[in-house]
A = this chain, B = another copy of it.
Amino acid sequence: MSLIVHKYGGTSMGSTERIKNVARRVAKWHAAGHQMVVVPSAMSGETNRLIALAKEIQEQPDPRELDAIASTGEQVSVGLLAMALKSLGVDAVSYAGWQVPIRTDSAFTKARIESIDDARVRADLAAGKVVIITGFQGIDPHGNVTTLGRGGSDTSAVAVAAAMKAAECLIYTDVDGVYTTDPRIVEDARRLKVVSFEEMLEMASLGSKVLQIRSVEFAGKYRVPTRVLSSLTDPLMSLEEEMVSGTLITFEEAENMEQAVVSGIAFNRDEAKVTVRGVPDRPGIAYSILGKIADANIDVDMIIQNQGSDGTTDFSFTVHRNELAKTLDVLNTQVKPAVGAREVIGDAKVCKVSIVGIGMRSHVGIASLMFKTLSEEGINIQMISTSEIKVSVILEDKYMELAVRALHRAFGLEKAA
C-alpha cells in the first residue's frame, strides 16, 4: 500500500461524463489498497472564461482579485469529483488550497508554494478517504487566495506528492506520454518509457507542452517520481498495464535508462529573430542593446554577436513572436539612434529545432551530426545555441517539419532503444 498522487488536466475533467471516468480510475487505485490524493484542474475552458470576465471589467485586472476569481474553477471541479467518487461508494472529501492549507508567497497570479500542511489530509487518508485538492492555488500569509499561474495544477500535484513523500505522482493528460518528437510531425515518433529529469526540463523549456516547466523543476528539486500518462485509456484497465504506460521521469542516470544519446527532438514556431546591423564594435554594446529590451520587460532567448571586418558588428537575438513588434519599436526609437546602428531587421518566419539528450554529455560529435543532417537537406542554420544536454538551431520556418523528420531519422529515434 502506497501513497499515490493523481493529477488530471482540464481536458480530463472537461465534462461530467469525463469526471465520472476519472472517478472510476481513482476508485480502482483506491480499491487496490493505495492511499489516494487527487489534484484536478478546472474543467477545460473554465479558467479562460473567468479571466475573460475579469478583463471585461478591467483591462489589466487587479492581481489579487483576479486570483480570487480564477481559483474558483478548480473549487468547482474538486467538488464534482468528490461527488462522483461518493456516487461510486468511495468516501471522498474535497479541499480548496486554503483549506489544506497550501501556503504560498503573495505573488498573485504567479505565486510560489512555500509549504504544505498535510495533517488534515493524512487524517482523512488514515480514515480511508480519497482526498481531492484544488490545483493551481494556495493561500498567502495574509489569508489571501493566490494562484500559481497557468499550468500550475501540475506544480500543485508534484508539490503535494513531495510534501507527503508520495511513492509516485501520476500526471494524467490528453497524451499518453513523452515522445521522441511530436507524432503529428513524425509518424514513427516513439513514446519514451523513461526520460531523465534534465531532459524533461529542456524539453519543457523548448516548447514541448506535456508538462509545465515549474512542475518539472519541483519534481527535480524534491526527487518526486513522476509519470505522465493518458486519461483517455479505459479507466478500468489493470494497474499493472497502467503502470507501464506513459513516461516515467527519473532522477538517476541508471543502467536501466534507455541508452540513446539523443532522447528527443523539440521544436516551436514561437520565436522571432531580430538583427541590429552595423553596430560600432566596442565594449558594452551588448548591454546598450539588451538593457533597453529588458527595461521593456521583453524576454530574450538566444543571443549571437558576429564581429564584422569594418569595426562594426551584427547583433542578433530571438524574442517571443508576440513581442516582435514591441521589440522593433524599442530598437528603432531608443537603441538605433543611441548606438549608431545601421539598420534593424525583424524576422518572424523562423523556427527553433532542438535535439535533447542526457547522453550528449559523454558523447562527442552529436552537434556535428545535427549540422551535417541539416546541410544534406539543404537547410541553412541561422543561429546556434548549446547547453550540456541540448543543441538548438534557428531555421527558416518552412523547413521545420523537414528538419525534425531528418533529425529523428539521423539519430535513430524511431527504433526502440
Contact = CB atoms under 8 A, between A and B. Distances in A.
Interface of A: 16, 19-20, 50, 53-54, 56-58, 61-62, 64-66, 68-69, 71-72, 75-76, 78-80, 82-84, 86-87, 93-94, 96, 98-99, 143-145
A79 B99 contact: no
Nearest to A70: B79
Contacts of A143: 99
The number of times this chain is found in the oligomer is 2
B54 A80 contact: yes
B65 A82 contact: yes
A66 B79 CA distance: 7
B16 A53 contact: yes
Given A86-B62, A98-B98, A143-B99, A68 B78 contact: yes
Contact of A83 (B19, B61, B78, B82): B61
Contacts of A20: 57
A271 to B, nearest CB: 33
Contact of A57 (B56, B83, B94): B83
B53 A80 contact: yes
A276 to B, nearest CB: 39
A58 B79 contact: no
19 contacts: A16-B57, A19-B57, A20-B57, A53-B80, A54-B80, A54-B83, A57-B83, A58-B83, A62-B86, A65-B80, A65-B82, A65-B94, A66-B79, A69-B75, A69-B79, A72-B75, A72-B76, A75-B75, A99-B143
A67 to B, nearest CB: 8
A53 B78 CA distance: 12
Contacts of A72: 72, 75-76
A57 B98 contact: no
Contacts of A61: 83
A76 B62 contact: no
Contacts of A86: 58, 62, 65
Contacts of A93: 64
Q: Which of A53, A98, A143 has the most CB of B within 10 A?
A: A53
A261 to B, nearest CB: 49
Contacts of A65: 79-80, 82-83, 86, 94
A77 to B, nearest CB: 9
A75 B73 CA distance: 11
Contact of A84 (B50, B58, B69, B84): B58
A41 to B, nearest CB: 15
Nearest to A120: B143
B79 A68 contact: yes
A72 B53 CA distance: 14
B76 A50 contact: yes
A65 to B, nearest CB: 4
A16 B82 contact: no
B99 A76 contact: no
Q: Give 10 nearest A-B pairs by CB, closest first.
A: A72-B72, A69-B79, A16-B56, A65-B79, A68-B79, A58-B83, A57-B83, A65-B82, A58-B87, A65-B83
A334 B50 CA distance: 52
A68 B57 contact: no
Contacts of A87: 57-58
Nearest to A75: B72
A31 to B, nearest CB: 20
Nearest to A66: B79
Contacts of A99: 143-144
